[in-house]
Structures are given as C-alpha cells and as structure tokens.
Amino acid sequence: MRKTDRTARRGLGLWAAACLLLAALLAAPGSEAAPRIGVLTMEPGEVFFERFGHNAIVVDRGDGSEPTSYNFGVFDPTEPDFVARFIAGTMRYRLVALPLSRDLAQYRASGRGVRVQWLDLDPEEVQALMAMLAVNARPENAAYDYQYFTDNCSTRVRDALDAATGGLLRRQLTVSSQGITHRMEAVRLALPAPWMAAGFHLGLAAEADRPLSRWDEGFIPMRLAESLEGVRRADGRPLVVAVEELLPHRLTLPPREYPLLRIEAMLLGLALAIAVVWLGRRAPRVVAGIAGLFWLGAGLAGLLMAFLWFGTGHHFAHANENLFLLSPLALALLPGAVRALRGRPPGRVFEMVLMLVLVLAAFGAFLKLMPFMRQENVEWVFLLLPLHWALARHFRKLAGATRAAG
C-alpha cells in the first residue's frame, strides 16, 4: 500500500472519530434542548372558586432548569377593595411566573388532577410567546380586570397562544359550535355544590344562553384543552404533540352534560301547590307561615337580581326574567302574612299586591312563548308559578270568607 493511501485513510479515521465525539457531546445529559411550550390543565376542586378548573402556560427552556408556570389566576383577597370589586364585578387578577413544582404543590395537596399538553410551535413562535409572557408578568403589567366568562385565567391562556401563532386558534375555533352556553357550563360545573348551581341558574339572564363557538368555550380550561386537541397547523400537523399526566385526579368530577330538570321542577311545583291547597283547609296559619317565608325569600332574591342589574358590572345578570317570578314586591306581602298568622284579615292592599305578584309571575311564564325571549328559566316557571297561584287562591278565599262572616 502506498504511503499516500495510508495517510488518507488515517485522516478519514480521525475525522470520523471527531464526528462521533461531537455527537456524543451533543447527546450528553448536560446539553441543551430546544425550548418548548405546554398548556397545564387543572381539574375542578372542591372550593367554590375552584369549580371551573384552572390552567396555565408552562415554559420549558430546555437548558436543564426547572420549567416556569405562567399562571393568570392569582388574586389577593386581602386587598382593601377586594370585596367591593367582587360585588361590583370588577375583580383584579394577576399573571404570576413561578416554578412549576411550586405551582403544582397546591393541586397535589388538594387532590386535583393536572396534565400538560406539549405544543408543536415553530422556534420563532416559542421565542415570541416567551418574550410576551415575560413582559406581561412584570409587576407593572401583571394585573387585569377579571370577567368570569369573557376575560379570565383560561381566556388569557387562549389569547396568548393565539397571538403567538398568528391567529391560528381563533381561525379554527370560531367556525364550529357544540351548542353549549355559559349557563350550561356554569350550572354543570357548580352542580357538586347544589346551592351554587341553583344560584347560577337563577341569577344568569338571557345573555348567558347564547350558543358559544369553540373559541368562546375556551373560558373553561377543560374545554380549551379539548379544543386544542383538534387544532392543526397550516401543513396539517397537530398543534398538540404529546399529553403528559403530572398529577392524578382524586376528587369526584362534575357531570359531563348540563342537567335538564324541567320534569322534576314541574312535579315539585305541583306538589307544593297541592300541599298549600290541602293545608289551607286544615291549617291556614301554617300556610300563612309558609307564605311569609316564601315571600321573604322571593323579595330578597328579587332585590339581589335588581341590584346585579342596576348596580354592578355583572353583565350576564342584567335584565333577568326571573324578576317576574321573584319580585321585590313580595316583601310588601309580609305584613299581611303576619296578620294572617294572628288570625286577622290581611287587608285589601295586601289582596291587590298579591294579585299583582301573581300576574307578574304569569306574565313571566307567558314570555316563554315569545321567540325573542330566550332566557332558559323554564324550570323556575314550573317550580314557582304553581306556588304563586296556590297562595293567591288561598288568601283570596280567606279574604272572601272573612268578608262574608263580617
């Protein structure tokens, strides 16, 4: 073999060894990987403000450091104006960047499940999103006015991803709808706490019954996670490339579907009406006590709904048709109920107000026949109208008997 051939082969061998050494160094544990972005989704908890679930954006820089969780759901109940803002519907939330392990600690302690969806973003999109989150997490930029349905921790995650991808999410998610409404989601998720579910159902007005696009459904973290699974990049690649469970869920999950309780409400309303009619013949003072409690509750509920309409920024509670069924005028019936408890006639003014309250409730039921009145409150009509009728019947008969005896 010639010397030049041996030299050439020795050179090729050295080059191959160098390449293998470089590859080994790049594959070593200490080498850096490309940054990646994920969406954390936390399942609902047991405390009332945890019922809707939660989410955050996680940034893994790929340099071996702990990933950062960008959490848009931080509030401070010790702020001097916290209660006033809560009542007015102008709560202040903040974006906070914290180590992922610290963010997960509270969910691990409470038994809430957490999973992360890793996203297929271009390097430029990753860098743009990281820069945007870093700027928004600065103390001077972190606060925002929280709106339960339209500007919350989940919509902020959605909007940040949409901005980083040039409107990819909005383009694909606004063209489809499952027919879900804000009321359906609020009542469904609150159902493990029946008082909370009933409060949402009673307090939400017609604005909460507009069918939502998949984009609008993103106000619920779990719905946003479902929608992300169906998003595709321009070349057909799925946006979500991997899903990883970080914490198991140990609590009871809310129902998947919105509960329709119209038959149950109708049967209960009829049962209450029959009970009032039956008791009216045997124990009229008991009926007077029941009526007083009902009118007190109805009047206070009506005052609260009126306050939410005229005195707060809770726009989804404005113009609530349940005001026909639970009118503040019911409070004017309380003196008559007290007189009836004492065995005295309630009085003519009482009779007029009583009939007005019944007419308002009947008008609220009649509105259900109008196509332009779209508030979903049929359950409340079925439950409350028979009771209004039975009480009006009882006290009119009582007044007639009193006048005949006199």
Token digits of residue 36: 């990646």
* pTM score, whole prediction: 0.87
Token digits of residue 354: 């009583």
Instruction: Specify the pLDDT at position 48.
Output: 86
Question: Mean pLDDT in the chain?
Answer: 91
What is the identity of the amino acid at 275?
A
The answer on pLDDT for 371 being more than 70 is yes
Torsion sign, CA atoms 143, 146, 151, 152 = positive
What is the identity of the amino acid at 169?
L
Q: CA-based Rg of the chain, rounded to a whole angstrom?
A: 31
316-339 confidence digits (pLDDT tens): 999 999 999 999 999 999 999 999
Average pLDDT, integer, range 259-281: 95
Token pair 């509270």 is at which residue?
Answer: 106
Instruction: Specify the pLDDT at position 266.
Output: 97
The answer on pLDDT for 243 being more than 80 is yes
Contacts of 47 (CB under 8 A, 6+ apart): none
Where residue 403 falls among pLDDT bands split at 50, 70, 90?
low
Which of 64, 100, 70, 116 has the alpha carbon at shortest distance from 241?
116
149-197 confidence digits (pLDDT tens): 999 999 999 999 999 999 999 999 999 899 999 999 999 999 999 999 9
Backbone angles phi, psi at 9, to 5 degrees: -65, -40
Q: Quickly count: other Cβ atoms within 10 Å of residue 178's Cβ.
A: 14
Helix H segments across 50-152?
82-88, 100-110, 123-136
On whether the CB atoms of residues 258 and 188 are closer than 8 A, the answer is yes
Separation between Cα atoms, residue 229 and residue 216, nearest integer Å = 16
Separation between Cα atoms, residue 233 and residue 227, nearest integer Å = 14
Structural domains in the chain, CATH included, are 36-247 (3.90.1720.10), 262-405 (no CATH)
The answer on pLDDT for 202 being more than 60 is yes
19-50 confidence digits (pLDDT tens): 444 444 444 454 568 999 999 999 999 998 89
The answer on pLDDT for 3 being more than 50 is no
On whether the CB atoms of residues 38 and 157 are closer than 8 A, the answer is no
76-133 confidence digits (pLDDT tens): 888 888 888 888 888 999 999 999 999 999 999 999 999 999 999 999 999 999 999 9
Query: If DSSP states are collapsed to H, E and C, what string results for 325-336?
Result: CCCHHHHHHHHH
Choice among 116-125, 270-279, 394-403 with the minimum mean pLDDT: 394-403
Task: Let me know the angle formed at the C-alpha of 291 by 319 and 403, rounded to the nearest 5 degrees.
Answer: 115
Instruction: Specify the pLDDT at position 21.
Output: 43
Average pLDDT, integer, range 230-251: 96
The answer on pLDDT for 4 being more than 60 is no
Percent of the chain past pLDDT 90, that is, above it, reads 80
